[in-house]
């Protein structure tokens, strides 16, 4: 099972240029809204037509601008789960599930029954989509796609139309389902949580261009690019300049930091995750020390967010910590905060 994608497409004020391959996946495509991640999926499905490039699925050419091959979406065997699920409103759950099947009546019925059971839709066969809950809609849409046995499954922000409390449960269900599926999977999302939980591999996209591609854990631990750091949830992104092989200066703050990773020549930002600050016991022994001048706290359900400044008129720095720790500190800012060199991310 493999998918190779290498496509380019231009519009008046936007252009898409992505090149990647995957072997089963799931591959996560992570990017802000409007970055071209859904367009990439639409090109693979044949809904949009790239200007040039190639799409090859399991050795089958779906699109090749040089050879003038452009298979219709009907012939691609691509399963596309839409953000809003795109269930046919005039068909019942059972009719929706069987919509893509061209089989003799009896076999079709059996296949639909199997899918209804597998996706926990029993009892809902005769309901219409407007009578279903968000989770039921998603399961119906997935059953409809899986009944069709596609070679690749494209998931376009599958959880964004659902209530927050449903998301985690459905995410578990989806993971379970993906284990049985032998085809390739691509998940498009702007949520780092979804990407981290579902996809062992990740590609970060910005303004139609791919920024970085790699193992998910590695990208979360050591992002090399600003956009990767931003999309993986790094709160502090500060302008920086190189000062030594393992040293950089935060230009807005006039503060020098040591890094564990070598600092590249073209470093532009330093990323600091808000959770990684700690209160030093012996400040004089720390290499990366911050002296907060002020602070402002906001309380989230399970943690405290503190924003502090180390210089007048400089950007605020985020620190996130557990409520317990904050209470131990007497709910006020300690004189020093420290950061280990491994937690300073030099970014391009």
Partner 1 sequence: MIDWSPLVISLKTASLTMIFVFFLGLLAAQWVVNLKSEGLKIVLDGLLTLPLVLPPTVAGYFLLYLFGVKRPVGLFFLEYFGVKIPFSFGATVLAATVIAFPLMYRSARGALEQVDENLIYAARTLGFSEWKIFFRVALPACFPGIAGGAVLAFARGLGEFGATAMIAGNIMGKTRTLPLAVYSAVVAGDFETAGKYVLVIVLVSFLAVVLLNYFALREKRNRKGKKS
> In this complex, which beta carbon is closest to partner 1, that of residue 72 or of residue 106?
72
Report strand pairing: 269-272 vs 345-347. antiparallel
The binder of partner 1 chosen from 74, 179, 182, 332 (CB under 8 A): 74
> What is the C-alpha to C-alpha distance for residues 141 and 145, in angstroms, rounded to an integer?
6
> In this complex, which beta carbon is closest to partner 1, that of residue 133 or of residue 327?
133
Q: Which of residues 121-160 bind partner 1 (CB under 8 A)?
A: 128-131, 144-145, 148, 150
The DSSP call for residue 342 is G
CB of 49 to partner 1, least distance (A): 11
Which spans in the chain are helix H? 37-45, 93-97, 105-118, 134-147, 164-180, 192-198, 216-221, 226-231, 323-328
Determine if 73 is a binding residue for partner 1 (CB under 8 A). yes
The binder of partner 1 chosen from 63, 80, 277, 319 (CB under 8 A): 80
The binder of partner 1 chosen from 69, 99, 161, 307 (CB under 8 A): 99
CB of 107 to partner 1, least distance (A): 16
> In this complex, which beta carbon is closest to partner 1, that of residue 152 or of residue 339?
152
Determine if 5 is a binding residue for partner 1 (CB under 8 A). no
Q: Which of residues 31-70 bind partner 1 (CB under 8 A)?
A: 42, 45-47
> In this complex, which beta carbon is closest to partner 1, that of residue 151 or of residue 343?
151
Rg of the chain in Å (alpha carbons): 24
> What is the C-alpha to C-alpha distance for residues 321 and 318, in angstroms, rounded to an integer?
10
CB of 175 to partner 1, least distance (A): 23
CB of 35 to partner 1, least distance (A): 19
Give me 92's structure tokens.
């019942």
Place of tokens 């779906």: 62
The DSSP call for residue 287 is S
> What is the C-alpha to C-alpha distance for residues 142 and 155, in angstroms, rounded to an integer?
10
> What is the C-alpha to C-alpha distance for residues 298 and 311, in angstroms, rounded to an integer?
21
CB of 153 to partner 1, least distance (A): 11
CB of 157 to partner 1, least distance (A): 12
> In this complex, which beta carbon is closest to partner 1, that of residue 73 or of residue 252?
73
Nearest CA-CA partner of 152 in 216, 39, 83, 59: 59
> What is the C-alpha to C-alpha distance for residues 71 and 74, in angstroms, rounded to an integer?
8
- Total binding residues for partner 1 by CB under 8 A? 31
CB of 76 to partner 1, least distance (A): 7
> What is the C-alpha to C-alpha distance for residues 159 and 172, in angstroms, rounded to an integer?
12
Q: Which of residues 209-268 bind partner 1 (CB under 8 A)?
A: none
Determine if 105 is a binding residue for partner 1 (CB under 8 A). no
Determine if 76 is a binding residue for partner 1 (CB under 8 A). yes
Determine if 100 is a binding residue for partner 1 (CB under 8 A). yes
3-state secondary structure of 131: helix
Query: Which bin fits 160, alpha (ψ -120 to 50), beta or left (φ > 0)?
Result: alpha
> What is the C-alpha to C-alpha distance for residues 269 and 249, in angstroms, rounded to an integer?
10
> In this complex, which beta carbon is closest to partner 1, that of residue 72 or of residue 285?
72
Give me 77's structure tokens.
């065997």
Q: Which stretch binds partner 1 (CB under 8 A): 83-91, 113-121, 286-294, 311-319?
A: 83-91
> In this complex, which beta carbon is closest to partner 1, that of residue 108 or of residue 320?
108
User: Which spans of this chain sit near partner 1 (rule: CB under 8 A)?
Assistant: 42, 45-47, 72-76, 78-80, 82-84, 86, 88-91, 99-100, 102, 128-131, 144-145, 148, 150
């Amino acid at each position: 099972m493999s998918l190779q994608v290498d496509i380019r497409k231009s519009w008046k004020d936007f252009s898409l240029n992505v090149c990647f391959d995957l072997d089963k996946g799931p591959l996560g495509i992570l990017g802000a809204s409007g970055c071209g991640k859904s367009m990439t999926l639409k090109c693979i499905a044949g809904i949009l037509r790239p200007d040039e490039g190639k799409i090859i699925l399991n050795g089958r050419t779906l699109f090749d601008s040089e050879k003038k091959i452009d298979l219709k979406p009907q012939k691609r065997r691509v399963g596309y789960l839409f953000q809003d699920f795109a269930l046919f409103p005039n068909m019942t759950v059972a009719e929706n599930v069987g919509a893509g099947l061209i089989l003799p009546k009896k076999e079709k019925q059996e296949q639909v029954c199997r899918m209804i059971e597998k996706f926990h839709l029993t009892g809902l066969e005769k309901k219409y989509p407007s009578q279903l809950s968000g989770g039921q809609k998603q399961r119906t849409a997935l059953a409809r796609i899986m009944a069709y046995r596609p070679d690749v499954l494209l998931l376009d922000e599958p959880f964004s139309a659902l209530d927050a409390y449903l998301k985690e449960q459905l995410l578990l269900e989806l993971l379970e389902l993906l284990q049985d599926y032998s085809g390739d999977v691509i998940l498009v999302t702007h949520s780092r949580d979804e990407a981290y939980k579902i996809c062992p591999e990740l590609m970060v996209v910005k303004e139609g261009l791919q920024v970085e591609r790699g193992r998910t854990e590695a990208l979360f631990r050591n992002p090399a690019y600003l956009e990767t750091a931003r999309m993986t949830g790094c709160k502090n992104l500060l302008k920086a300049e190189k000062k030594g092989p393992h040293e950089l200066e935060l230009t807005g703050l006039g503060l020098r930091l040591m890094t564990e990773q070598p600092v590249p020549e073209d470093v532009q930002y330093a990323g600091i995750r808000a959770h990684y600050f700690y209160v030093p016991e012996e400040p004089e022994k720390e290499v990366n020390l911050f002296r907060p001048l002020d602070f402002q706290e906001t309380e989230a359900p399970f943690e405290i967010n503190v924003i502090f400044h180390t210089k007048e008129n400089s950007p605020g720095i985020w620190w996130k910590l557990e409520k317990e720790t904050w209470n131990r500190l007497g709910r006020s800012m300690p004189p020093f905060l420290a950061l280990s060199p491994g937690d300073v991310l030099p970014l391009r």
